[in-house]
Structure 1
């Protein structure tokens, strides 16, 4: 891949094979989660959400009641 200038940033085009392997489509957001010499790792926002939920489940936190509704104003009052 060739690194190109895009505005004030640099960009690369992802090859179709990689796009297909990652299951990406136009509009998806990805995060670079690790970068080492010659290698980068990316994950989609959906993968990050799924991983966060799995981490919460692994902690065996008690489930919220079915009728629970988060109230942002109430939470900010604390």
Structure 2
């Protein structure tokens, strides 16, 4: 299949036909990996999910959340037994 290269800001872009998108299972906002082949071609495929990178990002987000008092402790203080 021949695809047309188009200008997108300061970069170049390719439009992926809808049939290919459905077959590969990618959607808007997904990441893809691109690499060069030995014969000078471009190989593009859906990026794999990286568990270590996800865990690292999750840890950074968790560290950014301020920790306060336990909600359960606040409820217990007002409870009648």
TM-score by length of 1: 0.49
TM-score by length of 2: 0.48
Rg larger for:
2
